[in-house]
Structure 1
Amino acid sequence: MAILLGLSRENRWLDLGFDGLRVEVRPMTTLIYEAARNRAARLLHEIAENLESVAAIGGTVEGLPDLDDPDGRAGLLELIRGQSLARMAIVRWEGVVHPATKEPLPVEGAWIDQLMLVAGVCEGFVDQYCYEFDLLDSEGKGLGASPNGTSVQVPDTAKAAKSKKRTAPKESAEQTADIAPTKRTPRKRTKAS
Protein backbone atom coordinates (compact mmCIF):
# COMPACT_ATOMS: atom_id res chain seq x y z
CA MET A 1 0.00 0.00 0.00
CA ALA A 2 1.37 3.42 -0.95
CA ILE A 3 0.74 6.78 0.67
CA LEU A 4 -0.55 9.70 -1.38
CA LEU A 5 1.80 12.69 -1.17
CA GLY A 6 0.20 14.91 -3.78
CA LEU A 7 -1.74 17.30 -1.56
CA SER A 8 -2.50 20.63 -3.19
CA ARG A 9 0.01 23.42 -2.56
CA GLU A 10 -2.21 26.07 -4.12
CA ASN A 11 -4.84 28.22 -2.47
CA ARG A 12 -8.38 27.07 -3.21
CA TRP A 13 -11.92 28.36 -2.82
CA LEU A 14 -14.50 26.71 -0.55
CA ASP A 15 -18.22 27.26 -1.07
CA LEU A 16 -19.74 27.36 2.41
CA GLY A 17 -23.33 26.72 1.38
CA PHE A 18 -24.82 30.20 1.63
CA ASP A 19 -25.62 32.22 -1.47
CA GLY A 20 -22.38 33.95 -2.44
CA LEU A 21 -20.39 32.91 0.64
CA ARG A 22 -16.97 31.65 -0.40
CA VAL A 23 -13.59 31.66 1.27
CA GLU A 24 -10.14 31.33 -0.27
CA VAL A 25 -7.87 29.21 1.91
CA ARG A 26 -4.21 28.35 2.16
CA PRO A 27 -3.34 24.69 1.62
CA MET A 28 -3.82 22.50 4.71
CA THR A 29 -0.55 21.51 6.34
CA THR A 30 0.38 19.57 9.43
CA LEU A 31 1.62 22.84 10.94
CA ILE A 32 -1.76 24.55 10.47
CA TYR A 33 -3.68 21.50 11.69
CA GLU A 34 -1.58 20.99 14.83
CA ALA A 35 -1.36 24.70 15.63
CA ALA A 36 -5.16 25.00 15.46
CA ARG A 37 -5.62 21.89 17.59
CA ASN A 38 -3.20 23.16 20.23
CA ARG A 39 -4.64 26.70 20.21
CA ALA A 40 -8.12 25.26 20.74
CA ALA A 41 -6.98 23.13 23.69
CA ARG A 42 -5.16 26.11 25.26
CA LEU A 43 -8.12 28.48 24.83
CA LEU A 44 -10.56 25.94 26.25
CA HIS A 45 -8.31 25.54 29.30
CA GLU A 46 -8.12 29.33 29.71
CA ILE A 47 -11.91 29.65 29.41
CA ALA A 48 -12.41 26.97 32.07
CA GLU A 49 -9.95 28.72 34.41
CA ASN A 50 -11.63 32.09 33.88
CA LEU A 51 -15.06 30.58 34.57
CA GLU A 52 -13.75 29.27 37.89
CA SER A 53 -12.42 32.74 38.73
CA VAL A 54 -15.76 34.36 37.89
CA ALA A 55 -17.64 31.77 39.95
CA ALA A 56 -15.24 32.31 42.88
CA ILE A 57 -16.40 35.93 43.17
CA GLY A 58 -20.05 35.01 42.77
CA GLY A 59 -20.41 35.88 39.09
CA THR A 60 -21.91 33.91 36.24
CA VAL A 61 -21.26 33.65 32.51
CA GLU A 62 -24.06 33.23 29.99
CA GLY A 63 -23.87 31.62 26.56
CA LEU A 64 -21.34 28.90 27.24
CA PRO A 65 -22.10 25.21 27.62
CA ASP A 66 -21.53 23.48 30.95
CA LEU A 67 -17.82 22.68 30.78
CA ASP A 68 -18.26 19.87 33.30
CA ASP A 69 -20.41 18.09 30.70
CA PRO A 70 -18.12 16.15 28.30
CA ASP A 71 -20.41 16.85 25.32
CA GLY A 72 -20.59 20.57 26.04
CA ARG A 73 -16.83 20.73 26.48
CA ALA A 74 -16.25 18.77 23.22
CA GLY A 75 -18.65 21.03 21.32
CA LEU A 76 -16.90 24.18 22.49
CA LEU A 77 -13.52 22.63 21.66
CA GLU A 78 -14.69 21.87 18.09
CA LEU A 79 -15.96 25.44 17.64
CA ILE A 80 -12.67 26.92 18.86
CA ARG A 81 -10.75 24.47 16.65
CA GLY A 82 -12.81 25.55 13.63
CA GLN A 83 -12.24 29.22 14.42
CA SER A 84 -8.52 28.56 14.82
CA LEU A 85 -8.29 26.70 11.51
CA ALA A 86 -10.23 29.49 9.78
CA ARG A 87 -7.97 32.20 11.25
CA MET A 88 -4.89 30.39 9.94
CA ALA A 89 -6.33 29.39 6.57
CA ILE A 90 -8.66 32.07 5.20
CA VAL A 91 -6.89 34.67 3.06
CA ARG A 92 -9.88 36.14 1.20
CA TRP A 93 -13.64 35.88 1.16
CA GLU A 94 -16.74 36.82 -0.77
CA GLY A 95 -20.21 37.38 0.63
CA VAL A 96 -19.18 38.45 4.13
CA VAL A 97 -20.59 41.89 4.82
CA HIS A 98 -21.02 44.21 7.81
CA PRO A 99 -24.47 43.71 9.38
CA ALA A 100 -25.30 47.44 9.46
CA THR A 101 -23.61 48.87 6.35
CA LYS A 102 -23.71 45.77 4.10
CA GLU A 103 -20.15 46.68 3.03
CA PRO A 104 -17.63 43.85 2.54
CA LEU A 105 -15.69 43.08 5.70
CA PRO A 106 -11.92 42.68 5.88
CA VAL A 107 -10.54 39.21 6.62
CA GLU A 108 -9.62 39.71 10.29
CA GLY A 109 -9.61 37.43 13.32
CA ALA A 110 -12.68 38.83 15.07
CA TRP A 111 -14.77 38.72 11.87
CA ILE A 112 -13.54 35.20 11.09
CA ASP A 113 -14.63 34.11 14.58
CA GLN A 114 -18.05 35.71 14.00
CA LEU A 115 -18.42 33.93 10.65
CA MET A 116 -17.67 30.57 12.29
CA LEU A 117 -20.51 31.21 14.78
CA VAL A 118 -23.11 31.15 11.97
CA ALA A 119 -24.97 27.84 12.17
CA GLY A 120 -23.51 25.32 9.75
CA VAL A 121 -20.62 27.48 8.56
CA CYS A 122 -17.98 26.20 10.99
CA GLU A 123 -18.82 22.54 10.40
CA GLY A 124 -18.95 23.01 6.61
CA PHE A 125 -15.66 24.89 6.64
CA VAL A 126 -13.84 22.28 8.73
CA ASP A 127 -15.25 19.37 6.69
CA GLN A 128 -14.17 20.90 3.38
CA TYR A 129 -10.88 22.37 4.51
CA CYS A 130 -9.70 19.21 6.28
CA TYR A 131 -11.03 16.76 3.66
CA GLU A 132 -7.72 16.02 1.89
CA PHE A 133 -5.84 15.96 5.19
CA ASP A 134 -8.36 13.56 6.76
CA LEU A 135 -8.27 11.40 3.62
CA LEU A 136 -4.50 11.18 3.85
CA ASP A 137 -4.75 10.34 7.56
CA SER A 138 -7.27 7.58 6.87
CA GLU A 139 -4.95 6.07 4.23
CA GLY A 140 -2.41 5.50 6.98
CA LYS A 141 -4.96 3.62 9.04
CA GLY A 142 -4.62 0.61 6.72
CA LEU A 143 -0.95 0.21 7.53
CA GLY A 144 -1.44 -1.52 10.87
CA ALA A 145 -1.46 -5.20 11.67
CA SER A 146 -3.81 -7.37 9.68
CA PRO A 147 -6.77 -8.96 11.43
CA ASN A 148 -5.99 -12.11 13.42
CA GLY A 149 -2.35 -11.98 12.40
CA THR A 150 -3.04 -12.91 8.78
CA SER A 151 -1.13 -11.49 5.88
CA VAL A 152 -4.18 -10.32 3.97
CA GLN A 153 -2.81 -6.83 3.32
CA VAL A 154 0.93 -7.42 3.18
CA PRO A 155 2.79 -10.28 1.48
CA ASP A 156 4.91 -12.63 3.58
CA THR A 157 8.57 -11.65 3.74
CA ALA A 158 9.93 -14.79 5.45
CA LYS A 159 10.61 -18.05 3.68
CA ALA A 160 8.46 -20.99 4.67
CA ALA A 161 10.01 -23.28 7.29
CA LYS A 162 11.16 -26.72 6.17
CA SER A 163 8.86 -29.38 7.49
CA LYS A 164 10.53 -32.01 9.68
CA LYS A 165 7.67 -33.56 11.52
CA ARG A 166 9.14 -33.58 15.03
CA THR A 167 6.81 -33.45 17.95
CA ALA A 168 7.37 -33.41 21.66
CA PRO A 169 7.58 -36.88 23.21
CA LYS A 170 4.28 -38.11 24.58
CA GLU A 171 4.12 -39.13 28.19
CA SER A 172 1.64 -41.42 29.77
CA ALA A 173 -0.85 -40.30 32.41
CA GLU A 174 1.18 -42.15 35.04
CA GLN A 175 4.32 -40.14 34.21
CA THR A 176 2.54 -36.77 34.52
CA ALA A 177 0.57 -37.63 37.66
CA ASP A 178 3.58 -36.91 39.86
CA ILE A 179 4.26 -33.57 38.16
CA ALA A 180 0.92 -31.78 37.84
CA PRO A 181 -1.63 -31.46 40.67
CA THR A 182 -5.00 -32.96 39.86
CA LYS A 183 -7.13 -31.13 42.43
CA ARG A 184 -7.42 -27.59 43.69
CA THR A 185 -5.25 -26.63 46.65
CA PRO A 186 -7.29 -24.68 49.25
CA ARG A 187 -6.12 -21.16 50.08
CA LYS A 188 -5.28 -20.18 53.60
CA ARG A 189 -7.66 -17.50 54.82
CA THR A 190 -6.51 -14.73 57.10
CA LYS A 191 -8.68 -12.57 59.31
CA ALA A 192 -8.96 -8.95 58.35
CA SER A 193 -8.08 -6.60 61.19
Structure 2
Amino acid sequence: MTLRLSAPPLLLPGETDGESSPEAGELRLPPATSELAEPTVSDDVQDGWSRERPSRSRPPSQPAFPIEGEEEAGALGLVARRSRPSSPTIDLSSEMHDRFALGDYTTALRVAELILGRHERHEEAARISRTCREKLASLYGSRLGPLDRRPALAVEDEEVRWLGLDHRAGFLLSRVDGAHTLEELIDISSMQRLDALRTLVELLEMGAICFRD
Protein backbone atom coordinates (compact mmCIF):
# COMPACT_ATOMS: atom_id res chain seq x y z
CA MET A 1 0.00 0.00 0.00
CA THR A 2 1.35 3.43 -0.94
CA LEU A 3 0.64 6.57 1.03
CA ARG A 4 0.70 9.94 -0.72
CA LEU A 5 0.97 13.05 1.33
CA SER A 6 0.19 16.39 -0.21
CA ALA A 7 0.26 19.81 1.31
CA PRO A 8 0.52 23.36 0.07
CA PRO A 9 4.08 24.66 -0.25
CA LEU A 10 5.49 26.63 2.62
CA LEU A 11 5.64 30.34 2.09
CA LEU A 12 8.46 32.54 3.20
CA PRO A 13 7.68 35.73 5.05
CA GLY A 14 6.56 38.40 2.64
CA GLU A 15 5.44 35.96 -0.09
CA THR A 16 1.88 35.55 -1.24
CA ASP A 17 0.13 32.54 -2.46
CA GLY A 18 0.49 33.61 -6.07
CA GLU A 19 4.28 33.82 -5.96
CA SER A 20 6.32 30.83 -6.83
CA SER A 21 8.49 29.40 -4.11
CA PRO A 22 12.24 29.44 -4.58
CA GLU A 23 13.86 26.39 -5.91
CA ALA A 24 15.40 23.96 -3.53
CA GLY A 25 18.84 24.97 -2.35
CA GLU A 26 18.49 28.53 -3.65
CA LEU A 27 19.00 31.30 -1.16
CA ARG A 28 17.47 34.64 -1.89
CA LEU A 29 19.70 37.59 -0.89
CA PRO A 30 18.77 41.21 -0.65
CA PRO A 31 19.65 43.26 -3.72
CA ALA A 32 23.25 44.50 -3.77
CA THR A 33 23.92 48.18 -3.62
CA SER A 34 26.57 49.84 -5.77
CA GLU A 35 27.73 52.25 -3.07
CA LEU A 36 28.89 51.41 0.41
CA ALA A 37 27.76 53.67 3.13
CA GLU A 38 30.63 55.46 4.79
CA PRO A 39 30.82 54.58 8.44
CA THR A 40 30.20 57.43 10.74
CA VAL A 41 32.12 57.98 13.90
CA SER A 42 30.55 59.85 16.70
CA ASP A 43 32.31 62.66 18.46
CA ASP A 44 32.55 60.59 21.60
CA VAL A 45 34.72 57.88 20.06
CA GLN A 46 37.00 60.01 17.88
CA ASP A 47 40.66 59.39 18.56
CA GLY A 48 43.38 62.00 19.03
CA TRP A 49 44.49 61.85 15.40
CA SER A 50 41.02 62.49 14.05
CA ARG A 51 40.69 65.49 16.36
CA GLU A 52 44.11 66.86 15.49
CA ARG A 53 43.83 66.29 11.75
CA PRO A 54 41.52 69.22 10.98
CA SER A 55 43.77 71.62 12.90
CA ARG A 56 46.96 70.58 11.12
CA SER A 57 47.99 72.86 8.31
CA ARG A 58 50.43 72.13 5.56
CA PRO A 59 53.67 74.10 5.90
CA PRO A 60 54.15 76.78 3.31
CA SER A 61 56.08 75.58 0.34
CA GLN A 62 59.65 76.86 0.02
CA PRO A 63 61.44 77.45 -3.25
CA ALA A 64 63.81 74.70 -4.29
CA PHE A 65 66.56 77.25 -4.96
CA PRO A 66 67.45 80.36 -2.92
CA ILE A 67 66.43 83.71 -4.24
CA GLU A 68 69.25 85.56 -5.94
CA GLY A 69 69.22 88.46 -3.48
CA GLU A 70 69.23 86.17 -0.45
CA GLU A 71 72.10 84.11 -1.87
CA GLU A 72 74.21 87.22 -2.42
CA ALA A 73 73.42 88.51 1.06
CA GLY A 74 74.45 85.19 2.60
CA ALA A 75 77.72 85.12 0.65
CA LEU A 76 78.54 88.71 1.61
CA GLY A 77 77.77 87.96 5.24
CA LEU A 78 80.07 84.95 5.19
CA VAL A 79 82.90 87.00 3.69
CA ALA A 80 82.35 89.73 6.26
CA ARG A 81 82.51 87.24 9.13
CA ARG A 82 85.70 85.69 7.82
CA SER A 83 87.34 89.06 7.27
CA ARG A 84 86.94 90.05 10.90
CA PRO A 85 90.23 89.88 12.84
CA SER A 86 90.28 86.97 15.28
CA SER A 87 92.50 88.77 17.77
CA PRO A 88 93.59 92.36 18.33
CA THR A 89 96.80 93.51 16.68
CA ILE A 90 99.84 93.47 18.99
CA ASP A 91 101.92 96.62 19.23
CA LEU A 92 105.41 95.17 18.81
CA SER A 93 107.15 98.35 19.89
CA SER A 94 105.23 98.49 23.18
CA GLU A 95 105.77 94.77 23.74
CA MET A 96 109.52 95.17 23.21
CA HIS A 97 109.79 98.03 25.70
CA ASP A 98 107.65 96.23 28.29
CA ARG A 99 109.75 93.05 28.12
CA PHE A 100 112.96 95.03 28.31
CA ALA A 101 111.73 96.95 31.36
CA LEU A 102 110.81 93.66 33.09
CA GLY A 103 114.29 92.23 32.49
CA ASP A 104 112.99 89.58 30.06
CA TYR A 105 115.89 90.14 27.69
CA THR A 106 115.34 86.93 25.73
CA THR A 107 111.80 87.86 24.69
CA ALA A 108 112.73 91.52 24.20
CA LEU A 109 115.52 90.43 21.85
CA ARG A 110 113.17 88.26 19.82
CA VAL A 111 110.64 91.07 19.43
CA ALA A 112 113.38 93.53 18.49
CA GLU A 113 114.69 91.17 15.81
CA LEU A 114 111.14 90.75 14.51
CA ILE A 115 110.80 94.51 14.18
CA LEU A 116 114.19 94.75 12.46
CA GLY A 117 113.08 92.06 10.03
CA ARG A 118 110.28 94.39 8.93
CA HIS A 119 112.10 97.71 9.32
CA GLU A 120 115.86 97.40 8.98
CA ARG A 121 116.50 101.01 10.02
CA HIS A 122 114.42 100.95 13.20
CA GLU A 123 116.89 102.67 15.55
CA GLU A 124 115.11 101.86 18.81
CA ALA A 125 114.81 98.16 17.95
CA ALA A 126 118.49 98.06 16.96
CA ARG A 127 119.52 99.68 20.24
CA ILE A 128 117.45 97.31 22.38
CA SER A 129 118.68 94.31 20.39
CA ARG A 130 122.30 95.28 20.98
CA THR A 131 121.71 95.92 24.69
CA CYS A 132 119.87 92.62 25.17
CA ARG A 133 122.71 90.69 23.54
CA GLU A 134 125.25 92.30 25.85
CA LYS A 135 123.21 91.57 28.97
CA LEU A 136 122.48 87.97 27.96
CA ALA A 137 126.14 87.32 27.10
CA SER A 138 127.13 88.65 30.51
CA LEU A 139 124.49 86.48 32.18
CA TYR A 140 125.60 83.30 30.39
CA GLY A 141 129.25 84.11 31.04
CA SER A 142 128.58 84.40 34.77
CA ARG A 143 127.05 80.91 34.79
CA LEU A 144 129.94 79.35 32.88
CA GLY A 145 132.73 81.14 34.68
CA PRO A 146 136.06 82.04 33.06
CA LEU A 147 136.16 81.10 29.39
CA ASP A 148 139.58 79.48 29.76
CA ARG A 149 138.03 76.56 31.65
CA ARG A 150 137.99 73.16 29.95
CA PRO A 151 134.66 71.31 30.12
CA ALA A 152 134.45 67.51 29.96
CA LEU A 153 131.69 65.06 29.15
CA ALA A 154 129.54 64.06 32.13
CA VAL A 155 127.53 61.31 30.38
CA GLU A 156 128.39 58.11 28.59
CA ASP A 157 128.36 58.01 24.81
CA GLU A 158 125.30 55.73 24.69
CA GLU A 159 123.36 58.15 26.91
CA VAL A 160 123.79 61.15 24.62
CA ARG A 161 120.95 60.05 22.33
CA TRP A 162 118.48 60.31 25.20
CA LEU A 163 119.25 63.98 25.89
CA GLY A 164 117.03 65.21 23.05
CA LEU A 165 119.61 67.63 21.64
CA ASP A 166 119.22 69.46 18.36
CA HIS A 167 121.92 69.22 15.70
CA ARG A 168 123.78 72.34 16.86
CA ALA A 169 123.92 71.29 20.51
CA GLY A 170 124.90 67.77 19.45
CA PHE A 171 127.74 69.11 17.32
CA LEU A 172 129.03 71.31 20.13
CA LEU A 173 128.83 68.43 22.61
CA SER A 174 130.81 66.22 20.24
CA ARG A 175 133.70 68.72 20.46
CA VAL A 176 133.84 68.59 24.25
CA ASP A 177 136.84 66.39 25.09
CA GLY A 178 138.39 67.99 28.17
CA ALA A 179 141.15 69.55 26.08
CA HIS A 180 139.35 72.52 24.47
CA THR A 181 138.53 75.62 26.48
CA LEU A 182 135.15 77.31 26.43
CA GLU A 183 136.53 80.07 24.24
CA GLU A 184 137.84 77.53 21.74
CA LEU A 185 134.52 75.68 21.70
CA ILE A 186 132.73 78.94 20.94
CA ASP A 187 135.06 79.58 18.01
CA ILE A 188 134.66 76.13 16.45
CA SER A 189 130.89 75.94 17.00
CA SER A 190 130.07 77.96 13.84
CA MET A 191 127.37 79.77 15.85
CA GLN A 192 126.88 83.33 16.88
CA ARG A 193 128.64 83.99 20.16
CA LEU A 194 125.42 84.48 22.10
CA ASP A 195 123.93 81.24 20.74
CA ALA A 196 127.08 79.27 21.57
CA LEU A 197 127.13 80.63 25.13
CA ARG A 198 123.45 79.78 25.61
CA THR A 199 123.99 76.24 24.28
CA LEU A 200 126.92 75.66 26.64
CA VAL A 201 124.81 76.85 29.57
CA GLU A 202 122.01 74.46 28.57
CA LEU A 203 124.46 71.54 28.34
CA LEU A 204 125.85 72.41 31.75
CA GLU A 205 122.41 72.68 33.38
CA MET A 206 121.18 69.35 31.96
CA GLY A 207 124.32 67.61 33.25
CA ALA A 208 125.83 66.77 29.87
CA ILE A 209 129.12 68.58 30.62
CA CYS A 210 131.00 69.43 33.79
CA PHE A 211 134.18 71.11 34.98
CA ARG A 212 136.74 69.04 36.83
CA ASP A 213 139.04 71.83 37.90
Kindly indicate which of the two structures has a greater share of residues assigned to helix: 2
TM-score, scaled relative to structure 1: 0.20
Greater Cα radius of gyration, structure 1 or 2: 2
TM-score, scaled relative to structure 2: 0.18
| Bigger relative CO (Cα 8 Å, ≥ 6 apart) | 1
